[in-house]
Amino acid sequence: MSKDPRLPHSVIFGQVVIGPPGSGKTTYCLGMQEFLSKLGRKVAVVNLDPANEGIPYQCSVDIAELVTLEDVMDGLGLGPNGGLIYCMEYLEANFDWLQSKLDTLKDHYFLFDCPGQVELYTHQNSLKNVFAQLAKWNFRLAAVHLVDSHYCTDPGKFISVLCTSLSTMLHVELPHVNVLSKIDLVEQFGRLAFNLDYYAEVLDLSYLLDHLASDPFFRHYKRLNEKLVEIVEDYSLVSFIPLNIQDKERMKQVLQAVDKANGYCYGDSEKRNLEVMMSAAVGADFQFTSALAVQEKYITANEKSVEEEAMEL
């Protein structure tokens, strides 16, 4: 079989940034673009979300040049969900357009900012086919799946997130890094039942079932929740890296996990730049320096509330 002359000769590394609406994908692309640029990598961000407006990062390729959700909805009378599926199928049918854009950026590291419709990653095949085509063009990609950390405050929602993450990992078929985004904002949505490590490492989920059993609504679905938890634990694939986009240490941990997943190797200059950047981060004006800071806030708050309740008694 003759080799396709259009295929690039060198391996191209990158990330596909996926996740539900509002999970922080575009903000992540902006932060990661700045982080990687300081390391010395030439970064190209590709917007594959036809509904993305007011893009904050420097965009090298924009699907809006090919198709937009607004035009599809107006022209075909589709809703937002059906319109997004149509846009992804339209992109799949126009690989030549995408390849012509990417061919001008062969020496870059890529960030693909993807749409937020969950069905695109769990059921529908268009984006999966786009990723497969990129692999044929010699792209070595890892999927970064962002999940808003506020789901940790609700045991029922967190189990749903675990199932969605597992389904996405199995459907997309890429090396996968799951991320709990916005950990600096999680306290605004309620108190965590356990410390952050419990949710990040997806430890013994039977404790979550105990919390659900105390809820009158979920009490009727005890058997169903037990089976869902069993599925997640049997696969033993889902875990998360907590991320505050303003925290350089957390950004470093996510990047190292992604680089390990897709096989990217640091050069000497990148290592030096990373050391300089991390040393400069000491004392920087970030809200939290690590996930431990978030945990300590919850632990302290929980201890105070227990003491206050004891005093009242």
Residue 159's closest CA among 169, 147, 171? 147
Which pLDDT score, from 0 to 100, does residue 179 have?
96
The reported pLDDT for the residue numbered 281 is: 56
Best CA proximity match to 17, nearest among 38, 45, 40: 45
Tell me the helices (H) and strands (E) count for the chain, helix number first.
Answer: 13, 7
CATH topology of domain 12-302: Rossmann fold (3.40.50)
Degrees to nearest 5, angle at CA 182 with 177 and 52:
80
Whole-number pLDDT of residue 114: 95
Name the nearest CA neighbour of 51 among 15, 25, 16.
Answer: 25
d(CA 49, CA 142): 18
pTM for the model stands at 0.84
Strand, helix or coil for residue 24 = coil
Report d(CA 63, CA 45) in Å as an integer.
Answer: 11
Give the model confidence (pLDDT) of 278-288 as tens digits.
777 544 444 43
Q: Record the tokens describing residue 106, joined without a space.
A: 């062969």
Tally Cβ neighbours within 10 Å of residue 93.
10
Query: How many angstroms separate the CA atoms of 133 and 118, rounded?
Result: 21
Measure Cα distances from 208 to 78, 150, 218, 227 in Å. 39, 15, 11, 13
How far apart, in whole angstroms, are the C-alpha atoms of residue 93 and residue 83? Answer: 15
Q: What is the pLDDT of residue 144?
A: 97
The two structure tokens encoding residue 55: 């893009």
85: nearest Cα among 100, 73, 99: 73
Q: What is the pLDDT of residue 87?
A: 95
pLDDT tens for 5-31 read: 444 458 999 999 999 988 999 999 999
The residues pairing with 141 across neighbouring beta strands, listed in sequence order, are 14
pLDDT at 9: 56
Taking the domains of the chain in order of start, what are their residue ranges?
Answer: 12-302
**Residue of 150, 147, 184, 148 whose CA lies nearest to 169:** 147
Give every residue of the chain whose pLDDT is below 70, as ranges. 1-9, 281-313
58 in Cβ contact with 44 (< 8 Å): no
Q: Among all chains, which residue has been given the structure tokens 């009490």? A: 219
| Phi, psi for 179 (deg, rounded to 5) | -130, 130
**Rounded distance between C-alpha atoms, residue 265 and residue 301, angstroms:** 42
